[in-house]
Chains A and B, each alone.
Chain A
Amino acid sequence: MTALPRRSLLAAGLFLGLTGIALAQAPAAPAGERFITVASTTSTQDSGLFNHILPLFKAKTGIEVRVISQGTGQALDTGRRGDADVVFVHARAQELKFVEEGFSTERRPVMYNDFVLIGPKSDPAGVAGSKDIVAALKKIQEKAAPFVSRGDKSGTHAAELNLWKVAGIDIAAQKGSWYREIGQGMGAALNTSGAMGAYVLSDRATWISFKNRGDLVISVEGDQRLFNQYGVMSVNPAKHPHVKVADGKRFADWLTSPEGQKAIADYKIDGQQLFFPNAGQAGA
């Protein structure tokens, strides 16, 4: 064998290998040994709520919360597969189904915000200023005004589909080229609406913290039917024995405790409160 090149290759390989091991061992962040994984929605993440409340929770309990932000449907699936300890989403019917399937033993309401219909200033459907979301959707459909749908099985998407149903429109059958499903998160949907001059249903929290508004404004708000409830569920260890039951429950407990509820209420952008705590409220 060629002693010289082999020796130098060996040395180089060894050096690189050791560097690699050192790099791989180095912690990315001062990650506490205690952590839980929470599957949540894009709205809680993109609005900045987690950046506000998670440090408070960590300071109190020493538990780091790792948040995967996905659409509600995807987040529930992450919980179903056992890849998260806690699911924190907003689609009541889907959440109750999750509990019914046995993936969680309990769903607890945490807070709500509301949806708003966002649209271009030019208001092609003539719905601006209305408080009736159902009438507004009917008009949009009649005039075939551009409308962006999340189309990603998220809580917002579920809420939107439900509103079409309430408006008596079978959107699956009646959608035309004006109805655009993008299959992405809230922020992406807002970016797309801005670029296309389209209407879009958004949660208020994401809207308030959204920075690339361009010509977009709130067209419809204040309708009771735009209510958006968030619930928290810890994953059932009977389904996935490895989940961190105690720490997960601790997080859910804290969110619904007076302290957690206050933290949620305290989160404001430009003086506007984004989420309204309502833990323990019957029927929420």
Chain B
Amino acid sequence: MSDQHTQTQISSAEVHEVFADLHTRYGVRGLEEKRADQAFVRTDRDEAVAVLTHLRDRHGYTHLAFLTAVDQIEEGRFELLYMLHNYELRHDLGVIVEIPREGDGCSMDTIHRMWPAAATYQRELREMFGIDFPGSPRLHEDFALEGWHDLPPMRKEFDTREYSERTYYARPGRTKTDTRQHMKDTIYPSEAETW
């Protein structure tokens, strides 16, 4: 059962073969080959679980390295990233799924039945980004943020500085002097040299 180190690296042709298969079956698109051992593809939300299942069961991408989200706030969407790994071919394949970041659409099908560990990722994504994964175990239990009632903090609109200024107080006695202003005030304070 141990993986053999004599196995050769996956070839670009093989990556393209996997991609072609996914493209035909599920309309997967946007192949980005980053390195010989790493590529990314994009798929629609409705096909995502089928794509992941297919990759795991037919193409040997059995390891879910992680699941996370990237906030593309300007475009109003989250990019979910399922980073899969094939130990036999030693290949990373990131599957990117775009979902809306607002409203009911901000949800995704759960994959905890495929990878029980995914339940933790999904719990965290719910807490940190506000993404719903209906059916995922203990989804609404606090993860790292016990008693948090603010915005999900990993969303880009959550302003950490504003939050900390609102929640904590600055240590008294600190003063800042702006270098340029200070030099102006001391070297050329005149109104005649103020443009």
- Chain B binds chain A: no
Interface positions of B (Cβ within 8 A of A): none
